[in-house]
């Protein structure tokens, strides 16, 4: 992986919307487990979590929702899907994914291919209707 070669000359930070388990499978599993990883910073969930390696991977901070906040957000998303009429009969993976510091809505599921997602809502009108309900 190119990140491994880049770590030979400079410190690297990777930020993504994915949660920590995605970083483990998509990034770390493709890197050598040597001292270069001490120069790698990982910022999952859009930078709301921060990990560095010092022998083992350690979370330096995480801006997590408390249980009450999570329940309120998940309830609002469930209700918006129901009221919009766009709740899918079939989904691929989690529709609402709790990433501790971000709650993600993937109306057709988190494992649905992005090309198929766009084809089902190319003008984003369904998304806009859900957002309007959530704003209330």
Give residue-wise pLDDT tens across range 42-71. Answer: 999 999 999 999 889 999 999 999 999 999
CA–CA distance, 56 with 71 (Å, rounded to integer): 32
Total count of domains within the chain = 2
Regarding whether 54 and 87 lie in a shared domain, the answer is no
Q: Provide the domain limits for residue 113.
A: 67-135
DSSP state of 33: -
Domain CATH code at residue 24: 3.40.50.1000
Task: Tell me the pLDDT tens digit for each residue of 88-100.
Answer: 777 787 889 999 9
Quick one: CA torsion of 61, 67, 23, 91, rounded to 10 degrees?
Answer: -160
Q: Are residues 131 and 103 in the same domain?
A: yes
pLDDT in tens, 114-136: 655 555 666 778 888 888 999 98
Domain boundary among 23, 45, 62: 62
Q: What is the spatial distance between Cα 114 and Cα 88, in angstroms, rounded to a whole number?
A: 16
CA–CA dist 86, 33 (Å, integer)? 44
Q: How confident is the model over 19-44, as a mean pLDDT?
A: 93
- Judgement on whether residues 52 and 77 belong to the same structural domain of the protein: no
Give me the pLDDT at residue 113, please.
Answer: 64
Residue 84 sits in a domain of what CATH number?
3.30.1240.20
């Amino acid at each position: 992986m190119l990140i491994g070669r880049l770590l030979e000359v400079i410190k690297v930070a990777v930020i993504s919307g994915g949660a920590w388990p995605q970083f483990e499978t998509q990034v770390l599993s493709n890197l050598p487990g040597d001292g270069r990883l001490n120069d790698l910073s990982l910022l999952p969930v859009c930078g709301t979590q921060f990990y560095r390696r010092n022998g083992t991977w350690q979370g330096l901070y995480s801006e997590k929702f408390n249980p009450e906040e999570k329940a309120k957000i998940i309830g609002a998303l469930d209700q918006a899907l129901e009221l919009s009429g766009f709740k899918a009969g079939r989904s691929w993976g989690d529709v609402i994914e709790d990433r501790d510091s971000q709650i993600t809505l993937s109306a057709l599921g988190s494992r649905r291919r992005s090309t198929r997602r766009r084809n089902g809502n190319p003008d984003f009108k369904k998304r806009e209707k859900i957002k309007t309900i959530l704003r209330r």
